[in-house]
Amino acid sequence: MAGVSTATVSRVINQTAWVEPVTRERVEKAMRDLNYRRNAAAIALAKRSGDMLGLLTGNLADPFFARLARGVEDVSRKQQYRLMVCSGGHDEEMEKAGLDFLVNQGCEAIVVHASRLPDKELLRYAAHFPALVVVNRYIAGMANRCIWLENRSAAREATRYLLANGHRRIACVTSDLPIIDRQERLDGYREALEEYGISPDPRWVISVPFNEEGGERAAHQLINSGLPLTAAVTFNDVMAAGIMRILHQRGVQLPQQLSIVGFDDVVLAPVSLSGVNNNALSGSNKWRVVPRNWRYSYTRALRRRPAAIISMPNW
């Protein structure tokens, strides 16, 4: 249709060499007329490099994801593989763009943290990549390639810990994103309260962005609400740090007036949370998941990671 050789068409599509502008336009017009679409999976298959590992993460500014990246990097270095990292930003379009980027860069294996991409999309990618691993999420159709935390039981145990220490009015500071982690942790929090015959006031649940600024907003809400709360379970340690900063500024004594439970056991927790009787839910070492034989397949069965309560010293 364009009157050129297949080699010229290939150069236009793959941009591997210079092509006369007039010729390029003829080829591109023919592609539009034929409704041609590049087969990303086939291109990636041809490009795949045996020493390239991809990592799609959430937000590298969050210590949790920085720790995830560090764990994957440690494994890739030990096995002499190159690592390519990009962030999905907890946004469906960005996650898809990031995953497509890693695929098109020829990654042989990919570790994926995607909170917004639909299951069917991840299943589609997994069908083309036997060494694709999903972390912090469970998908029934690829369960043997998923690693996820026991969010529900972890939040339940954290709330039970506070209840066992005499607290009865406990807030839950959670994410404002509609992600499964949020729902599972809320379920665990409510189940623990119900075990003690407590019906939580809807105002006890505060939904904010799961970052330090979100924690600061939650702290203001906790203080300004006038509710007689004595403890709070938070979505992560970063939020807990934001809450404590504002509470300290407002003269609230921790943990005497308010006890706080964090989640994730990130690196900043021992620094930011020391001096208050904080407890973190540990996910240590759960991200060392890169298979030694990734170039063939990834079939090792992986199970949910249990959580543990870690009491911070009250220095």
- pLDDT at residue 24, as a whole number: 83
Question: Is there a shared CATH topology between the 43-149+286-306 domain and the 151-281 domain?
Answer: yes
**DSSP secondary structure, 101-117, as one string:** HHHHTTEEEEEE--SSS
The reported pLDDT for the residue numbered 210 is 83
What's the pLDDT tens digit per position in 53-107? 999 998 887 778 888 888 889 988 888 888 999 999 889 999 999 999 998 888 8
The b/e string for 207-244 (b: 16+ C-beta within 10 A; e otherwise) is bbbbbbebbbbbbebbbeeeeebbbbbbbbbbbbbbbb
Q: Are 194 and 223 in contact (CB under 8 A)?
A: no
Indicate the fold that domain 151-281 takes in CATH: Rossmann fold (3.40.50)
The more confident residue out of 290 and 26 is: 26
Query: pLDDT grade, residue 172 (50/70/90)?
Result: very high
> What's residue 13's pLDDT?
72
CA distance 48 to 34: 28
pTM for the full model? 0.68
CB of 112 closer than 8 Å to CB of 135: yes
Instruction: Determine the average pLDDT of the residues in 224-237.
Output: 90
CA–CA gap between residue 43 and residue 34 (Å, rounded):
19
Give the residue extent of every domain in the chain. Answer: 6-37, 43-149+286-306, 151-281
Beta partners for residue 232, in sequence order: 171, 260
Distance, in Å, from the CA atom of 56 to the CA atom of 97, rounded to the nearest integer, reads 10
Which pLDDT band, with edges at 50, 70 and 90, does 134 fall under? very high
Architecture of domain 43-149+286-306: 3-Layer(aba) Sandwich (3.40)
User: What distance in Å separates the CA atoms of residue 13 and residue 308, rounded to the nearest whole number?
Assistant: 52
238-288 pLDDT tens trace: 898 899 999 989 998 888 888 888 887 654 444 444 433 344 433 333 334
